[in-house]
Structure 1
Amino acid sequence: MVSSNLFDLPQTALPIGSLVVVSGASGCMGIHICDQLLGLGFRVRGISRNVKKSGWIETMFTKTYGPGKFELVEVPDFSIPGAFNAAVKGAHGVIHTAADTSLDLNPDNVVSPMVSAAIGIAEAAASTPSCSRLVYTSSSSAVADPAPGIVRKITNETYNEETVIAAYSPDLRQDLVGGHTVYAAGKVKTEQALWKWYHSRAPNFVMNTVIPSPCYGEVLYPKAQGFTAAMGVLKMLWDGNGSEEIVKMFESQWFCDVKDVASLHVGALLLPQVKSERLFAYAGKYTVNDLLRIFKTAYPSREFPEEVENILEDSTEVPNERSTEVLKLLGLKGWKSLEECLEPVTKQFLDASR
């Protein structure tokens, strides 16, 4: 039995104390994954595009877990062939969370480099004899766009082909929503390319993908990380931005807690019985009005945007049963509620404004 403050694992696919490589280690999700693996006794090598900018991570983790447990290495350009070879050397497992979250409106700048990076790190893992597990962070955007009020069923084979078409359309919105469409297209093409590579290449490792819906929750080191990606847009809403552009970013759909998703990555990496699976991190449904009500209940003296009238709720059926089972196999109770997701991060928003 392997235990930490968070998990109870009867056995693990990787030996405790072995090396796990995590790309995107400074991201909101990536840093939680690193933290949970370190808590279980693994050594972690984080990948950053700029070590000088992200060096605080190594300082923080060394302070918490002691020397020799975490190291940060630099890979400036993920799309160059062989870029990850040195970073992955000696690893028993690899988790690729890094993605282009710039919201660049030009798909040529986003899609192909994202695919190249994922295939590149997979090739590096395949060339590393010790590596027996690879986990890729996909996105609910790779599966389907939000469709409030429409009854539909998502399956393990569902991909968001429509968003790829939209990303290359001359009618692409020239705002945050359009940037997210391009990001989503990159996620679609990357996950598809990875699975195609995996089945044709047949490497000597098990690959799983984790598919998070929008992630909210505690930022591990907010003073150093700030609020980026979904948490950054959430802060815009918290700060009173109720514009159509921002509200559109919170279309009715599913959500998940960032720590739960980090744990799902740990399960995809370490549970021997989880093999060649797409794990859907969908905790529950929400609307932008749910966010606003939670904000207003917790902080009645603050001003927030007005609720949206005649809002439609999500009616999508999703295959999240296996992901729920994986969390329970780790010894967790299951998914956090929306209130549990928002409580710590809204306190951090408040602290940041003081």
Structure 2
Amino acid sequence: MTPSVSDTLVLVTGGTGFVGSHCILQLLQRGYRVRTTVRSLEKKEKVLAMLRQGGLASFDRLSFAEADLTHDRNWNTALQDCTYVLHVASPIFLELPRHEDEMIRPAVDGTLRVLRAARQAGVKRVVMTSNFGAVGYSHRDHNTPITETSWTDPHEKGLSAYNQSKVLAERAAWDFMAHEGGDLELAVINPMGIFGPALGPELSSGFGLLQKVLDGSMKRLPDIRMGVVDVRDVADLHLRAMTHPAANGERFLALAGGTMSLLEISQFLRRKLPDVTQRASTRPLPTWLLRMAALFNTQARAILPLVGIYRNASNAKAKQLLGWQPRPNEEALLATAQSLVHYGLLRPETGAR
């Protein structure tokens, strides 16, 4: 007999994060009981503040567990009585590690730590947050869209340590399921660029990029095209993959559809929010010039691997199999810019008309 939603306990790892907080919000709004992991219980108030920002006033169905992806302690306690797990958390680095293994090992080991504990606790299904970097960076046929059958080669030239960590962690998860998973089920979500409304002032990397475009910090715009998805739709897709019978053993690309260049994004937001985007650049940066700058500029060197990447991917699987209907790219981007304004990171220029 399937338990009712109100009797179902879901663990969300990484409750303080952009995606994790929206997953918690939607689960509580739909009547689930939720437990979330935080690295320190001192972060509890931060999560509650984010949920209040999302419109919640009651937290009697929410509990907290202190657990860290780099340690075994408390995971068995965190997973006790849980039916589902949304494994959203990734190891956090305040600055780039000196060696890529310092980012990759914790991501792989943390994923396996959660899966082992989930299997031991009798969890029905884990939904894991991976990313597009695990899917599309080795796709060579530009005449066909990228689908969930594609895999990024972790040794792809120019692949960031972060994307390496994602592809290797996801590979490790599927390998674990094949050899040690037992009755545990797994589904994986692979989002592209996640935008949309923030529930708190600590903003994700996508917000940082958009802020640089809109406040004029990025004087000229490199040839970067982005697939976009709203964080609310990413959370919704996690919940659909959590319960839908057909989602077991599947991965799902999460994107609204199509791509937008930084130039197109800048032009769109200048039209929609003219009072706070006067400084936004609409000047393209030739790739040859970026390559020259990358020889001696670390910021240019960090951007260069993103230039010219083919990101024409398909969201058909999530839509057809799970009935997922994402918001348009423009709605997600506008909500992001509005969050930048809300948290004081994008202001009208003094004296602007």
Per the alignment, do residues 259 and 86 of structure 1 end up closer, same or farther by CA in structure 2, a change over 3 Å counting? same
CA contact (8 A) 1:147 1:253 kept: no
Residue 83 (structure 1) shift: 4.9
1:188 equivalenced with 2:167 (yes/no): yes
Q: Residue type matched to 2:265 in 1?
A: L
Q: C-alpha separation between the residues in 2 aligned to 1:309 and 1:104?
A: 26
Residue 58 (structure 1) shift: 3.3
Per the alignment, do residues 165 and 100 of structure 1 end up closer, same or farther by CA in structure 2, a change over 3 Å counting? farther
Please show how residues 188-227 of structure 1 align to structure 2 within 5 Å: 188-220=167-199, 222=200, 225-227=201-203
**Secondary structure of 2:170's aligned partner:** helix
User: Which residue is 1:109 aligned to?
Assistant: 102
CA contact (8 A) 1:38 1:65 kept: no
Residue 299 (structure 1) shift: 2.4
Q: C-alpha separation between the residues in 1 aligned to 2:155 and 2:212?
A: 24
Q: Residue type matched to 2:233 in 1?
A: D
User: Which residue is 2:208 aligned to?
Assistant: 232
Q: C-alpha separation between the residues in 2 aligned to 1:60 and 1:303?
A: 30
User: Which residue is 1:171 aligned to?
Assistant: none
Q: C-alpha separation between the residues in 2 aligned to 1:163 and 1:144?
A: 13
Q: C-alpha separation between the residues in 2 aligned to 1:127 and 1:120?
A: 11
Q: C-alpha separation between the residues in 2 aligned to 1:149 and 1:273?
A: 29
TM-score (norm 2): 0.81
Gaps of 5+ in 2: 288-306, 348-353
User: Which residue is 1:323 aligned to?
Assistant: 318
Residue 82 (structure 1) shift: 5.0
CA contact (8 A) 1:147 1:252 kept: no
Q: Write the deviation string for residues 125-173 of structure 1: whole angstroms up to 9, x where unpaired.
A: 10112x1111000000111239899445434332211556646xxxxxx
CA contact (8 A) 1:280 1:323 kept: yes
CA contact (8 A) 1:146 1:314 kept: no
2:130 to 135, 138, 141: 138
Residue 348 (structure 1) shift: 2.0
Q: C-alpha separation between the residues in 2 aligned to 1:297 and 1:235?
A: 16
CA contact (8 A) 2:154 2:168 kept: no
1:47 to 37, 57, 66: 37
1:295 equivalenced with 2:269 (yes/no): yes
Q: Residue type matched to 1:219 in 2?
A: A
1:277 equivalenced with 2:253 (yes/no): no
Per the alignment, do residues 259 and 287 of structure 1 end up closer, same or farther by CA in structure 2, a change over 3 Å counting? same
Q: C-alpha separation between the residues in 2 aligned to 1:262 and 1:13?
A: 23
Please show how residues 52-71 of structure 1 align to structure 2 within 5 Å: 52-58=42-48, 61=51, 64=56, 66-71=58-63
Q: Residue type matched to 2:163 in 1?
A: A
Q: Residue type matched to 2:22 in 1?
A: H
Per the alignment, do residues 243 and 81 of structure 1 end up closer, same or farther by CA in structure 2, a change over 3 Å counting? farther
CA contact (8 A) 1:212 1:261 kept: yes
CA contact (8 A) 1:101 1:183 kept: no
Residue 28 (structure 1) shift: 0.9
Q: C-alpha separation between the residues in 2 aligned to 1:325 and 1:314?
A: 26
2:90 to 93, 99, 107: 99
Residue 108 (structure 1) shift: 1.7
Residue 99 (structure 1) shift: 1.1
User: Which residue is 1:177 aligned to?
Assistant: none
**Secondary structure of 1:71's aligned partner:** strand
Residue 61 (structure 1) shift: 4.4
Per the alignment, do residues 96 and 185 of structure 1 end up closer, same or farther by CA in structure 2, a change over 3 Å counting? same
CA contact (8 A) 1:267 1:326 kept: no
**Secondary structure of 2:246's aligned partner:** coil
The CA RMSD measured in Å over matched residues stands at 2.9
User: Which residue is 1:266 aligned to?
Assistant: 239
Aligned residues, how many? 318
Residue 205 (structure 1) shift: 2.4
Higher mean displacement: 32-41 or 234-243: 234-243
1:15 equivalenced with 2:15 (yes/no): no
